[in-house]
Structure 1
Amino acid sequence: MEHRLSKRVQGKLGLLVYKRGMPVATGQIRDASKRGLFIATDYTDVQLNQTVELEFRFPDTQEKRFRRLKAHVVRKSDKGLGVDFEGVENDGFTISSLMHWLKSHHIPANYFPVRRQQAY
């Protein structure tokens, strides 16, 4: 069982992953919390605890500026990267804006469908 310190919000939002100031990959935010994100990507050339920058913008707003967050890679899998905001300097407003956008654009998904019980 996983232990989370803050609630996760599911959503989808494209982003760019930067390493040492250079864009190295594309990805898509799949879930987020005030403390971190899970990014769906096939990018694997990154180490645990490495700092990356994430650049995104909200596609349906009048504001066209890109936003950036710094994060540490805390998990790698064949489906993507888990990153944490702890220990890096970020704008709290950007994290709050991201959480708000994901909540308001969430498409519910049935991840754990109810299993039909067989009659015996």
Structure 2
Amino acid sequence: MEHRLSKRTDGKLGLLIYKRGMPVATGQIRDASKRGLFIATDHTDIQLNQTLEIEFRFPDKQQNQCRRLKAQVVRKTDNGLGVDFDGVENDDFTIAALVQWLGKHRRPMSGFPVGQHAYESLKEDFYEATQR
């Protein structure tokens, strides 16, 4: 039986994964809590205990500002990564806003494109949003 320290909120939101300041992959948040996330991704060049940055934006917000959080990889599966916010410096307001947004916008999706093509497309979307 699992014992979580904080409640998980299911949801779907695309993101970019950064290593050492460089974007390396796309993913999709599948669930979140104030302590961490599960990210669906097919990117495998990530190690346990590695610190990553994730970048996302809320698609329905007036401001198309990208948000970035740091997280430590605590679990790897064939479907993605479990990351933890503890032990890294983050903006608690951004984490709370993310969990709240996911709770309000449970969007049905049959899947999320991952891989190089999806990465390029998502990167272009993020760039366009920041240029508005």
Q: TM-score range by the shorter chain?
A: 0.7 to 0.9
1:83-94 correspondence runs (5 A):
83-94=83-94
1:12 matched residue in structure 2? 12
Amino acid at match of 1:46: I
1:72 matched residue in structure 2? 72
Larger helix share, 1 or 2: 2
Q: Which has the larger radius of gyration?
A: 1
Give the structure-1-normalised TM-score: 0.88
Identity of aligned residues (%): 77
Higher relative contact order (CA 8 A, sep 6+): 2
Q: Please report how far the alpha carbon of residue 3 of structure 1 lies from its aligned counterpart in structure 2 after TM superposition.
A: 1.1
Q: Please report how far the alpha carbon of residue 37 of structure 1 lies from its aligned counterpart in structure 2 after TM superposition.
A: 0.1
Matched residue SS, 1:99: helix
Q: Please report how far the alpha carbon of residue 107 of structure 1 lies from its aligned counterpart in structure 2 after TM superposition.
A: 4.7
Amino acid at match of 1:40: A
Alignment root-mean-square deviation, CA: 1.0
1:112 matched residue in structure 2? none
1:42 matched residue in structure 2? 42
Larger strand share, 1 or 2: 1
Matched residue SS, 2:2: coil
Matched residue SS, 1:95: helix
Amino acid at match of 1:26: T
Runs of 4+ in 1 over 6 A off after TM superposition: none
Matched residue SS, 1:30: strand
2:121 matched residue in structure 1? none
1:98 matched residue in structure 2? 98
Unaligned runs of 5+ in 2: 109-132
